Amino acid sequence: MFDALASPHHFLREMIGPTAHDPALKDYEQWWEQEGRAISDSVDRGGTPWLRMFDAAGKRVDEILYPPDYWRMLKQGYRAGVLWRAFEQDSLLPAFLLIYLTSFYDSGLSCPYTVSLSTALPLAKYGDDRLKERFLPKLLRQNDEVWQGATWMTEIKGGSDLGASVETLAVRDGDMWRLTGDKYFASNAGAELAVAAARPQGGPLGVRGLALYLLPRWRSDGELNYTIRRLKDKIATRSVPTGEVELRESEAYLLGGAEEGIYLILEVLNVSRVANSLGSVALAQRTLADALGFAQTRIAFGKRILDHPLLRRQFEERLQGLRQCFALAWQASQLLNEVWKERRPYSERYHLFRLLAHLAKYWTAEFAAQTAKWGMEVHGGLGVLEEFRVERWLREAMILAIWEGTAHRQLLDALEVIERKQAHHLLLAFAEQGGACPDLRQITQEIDQHLGLSAEQREFRWEPLGRRLAQTTAAALLDALPGKHKTAQGNF
C-alpha cells in the first residue's frame, strides 16, 4: 500500500490499470524524484518571483525572474507532453495523467499546464484556420521553445459573477479587436498567449454580453501587447506567477461568435475544473503518503502511532475517501474527453459531464483541504514547521478550493444543471450502468422533492444535499473503475 501511496504513477496504475501512457509517466516521475522535488521546494521557499519591468535600456519588458531551475522544472512537463500528447493522440487523458503526476509534486505547477491546455483547446475548436496555423504549432512544440497559454477572466469586482464584473471593453478594428481593461487575477502572467473574457462594444449587459478573445503577448509590430502591473504575493502556488495584467488597446482575436461567448468561457473553465479536481486528489495523495511515512516511525505509548487503532482507522477511511475522489475526478476527465468537441446545443452527455465536473471540483478540493489539515494533525506540533512540508500542502489546498470557482459556485452550478437539465437523473443512469446504486437512487428521489421548493428555499437548503450527492456519486463511481484497487488491501 505504501508503494502505491508514495508514487503517483503506482497509484494511477492501481486505480485505472495499465495504459499506453505508462512509459511517459514513469520517466516523468523519475525526473521528479531525481531533480524536480528539490527545485519545487526551493521555489516554494523562495516566495514571489521578481517582476523585472524594464531592461537596462529602460524599455518595458515585464519579465518574470524565477531562478533558472524553475524554467527547467516548468519545461520538463511540456517536454513530457502535457500539451502535445493531447493533440498527437487526440485524447485529453495523457495530459490529465501528467497533470495528476505534476500535482503530486507541485500543485502550483500544474496551473501553467492546465491554463495552456485551456488555451489550446478553444483555439483548436473555435479559431479560424489562419489563427490556428499561426499559434497552435507554437503551443504544441516538444522542445523548450514551447509557448504557454493563460485564461484571464477575473477582474477587480470579482470572479464569481463575471456578468457583472467584467468591464474589459473590446472594440473591433478590421479583422482583429482591441481590448482595454484590467485582469486582476492573471495566472501564468507572461504567457505568450491568453484567452480573455471581454465585452464587445455595444453588446448587452450581463453574461450574455461577454465574448472570448485570443490575446498574444506581443503586438504585430513586436511591442508588448499587455503589461504586468505587479505580481501577487500568495500563500502558495508559488510556482505559477499570478499577476495583475493591463490591457490597453491590446490586439486580440474573437473566438467563436460574440453572442455565444459565455458558453466558450464556461467551456474553458470546465477544462480547468477537471484538471483542478485531479490536482486536488493528487495533493491529497501526497498528504496521505507523507502522513503515513511519519506515522510509521513516530512512537507514542510504546508503539508506532500508526498501530493505534483510532489512528489506523482514520488512515483507512482517508484512503477510501482518496479512491472515491479519484473515481469522481477520473470519470469527469473521461467524460470531458468524450464531449469537449461538442458545440451548442449540447447533448445530454454534455449536461451529465457538467454536473460531474461541478461535483468533482467541489468535493475533491474539500477533501484535499480536509486531508491537508488532518495530515498536519497527524504530524502533531511538527506539522506546523516548514521543514515538514505538510504545512505547504495545507497552503496549496486552500487555493485549489478557491480558484476555478469556489465551493459555493460549484454547488450552485450543479444545482442549476439539475434544475434545467434534470442532470441528476442522467447521473443515476450513468452510475447504474455498473450495477445498482441504491444510495444514489435515494438521493435522486430527494432531489426530485427538493426541486418542488421555492427558488429561495432550493438554494438555502441545497448544500447538505449537494454534499451528499458528491460523496455518494464518488462512492458509486469507484466501483466502476477497472484497476486493482478492488482487490488491494485497504489496511496499512
Ligand X SMILES: Cc1cc2nc3c(=O)[nH]c(=O)nc-3n(C[C@H](O)[C@H](O)[C@H](O)COP(=O)(O)OP(=O)(O)OC[C@H]3O[C@@H](n4cnc5c(N)ncnc54)[C@H](O)[C@@H]3O)c2cc1C
The residues binding ligand X (CB under 6 A) are: 151-154, 158-160, 185-187, 234, 237, 242, 399, 402-406, 408-409, 412
Question: Residue 8: is the preceding peptide bond cis (ω within 30°)?
Answer: no
Give the nearest distance from C-beta 364 to ligand X in angstroms.
Answer: 16
Could you tell me which of 382, 112, 148, 95 has the C-alpha nearest to residue 237?
Answer: 112
Q: By C-beta, is 89 or 227 nearer to ligand X?
A: 227
Q: Under a CB-based contact definition with an 8 Å cutoff, are residues 223 and 187 in contact?
A: no
DSSP state of 224: B
Cell of 252: 486580440
Give the nearest distance from C-beta 243 to ligand X in angstroms.
Answer: 9
Give the Å distances, CA to CA, from 461 to 124, 439, 455, 471.
41, 19, 10, 17
Q: By C-beta, is 24 or 186 nearer to ligand X?
A: 186
Q: By C-beta, is 374 or 403 nearer to ligand X?
A: 403
Q: By C-beta, is 151 or 168 nearer to ligand X?
A: 151
Cell of 472: 455518494
Cell of 442: 435515494
Q: Length of the chain, please?
A: 492
343 residue type, one letter: R
Number of Cβ within a 10 Å radius of residue 311: 18
Q: By C-beta, is 178 or 238 nearer to ligand X?
A: 238
Euclidean distance between CA atoms 260 and 343, whole angstroms = 10
Question: How far from the centroid of its chain's Cα atoms is residue 249's Cα?
Answer: 30
Give the nearest distance from C-beta 181 to ligand X in angstroms.
Answer: 12
Euclidean distance between CA atoms 297 and 295, whole angstroms = 5
**What is residue 308's three-state secondary structure?**
coil
DSSP state of 225: S
Q: By C-beta, is 310 or 455 nearer to ligand X?
A: 455
Q: By C-beta, is 323 or 354 nearer to ligand X?
A: 354
Give the nearest distance from C-beta 187 to ligand X in angstroms.
Answer: 3
Q: Which residue is nearest to ligand X (CB)?
A: 159
Give the nearest distance from C-beta 303 to ligand X in angstroms.
Answer: 42
Q: By C-beta, is 334 or 410 nearer to ligand X?
A: 410
Give the nearest distance from C-beta 196 to ligand X in angstroms.
Answer: 9
Give the nearest distance from C-beta 340 to ligand X in angstroms.
Answer: 20
Please give the helix or strand (H or E) that residue 429 lies within, else none.
Answer: helix 423-432
Give the nearest distance from C-beta 189 to ligand X in angstroms.
Answer: 8
Q: Where in 281-353 does DSSP place strands (E)?
A: 299-300, 303-304
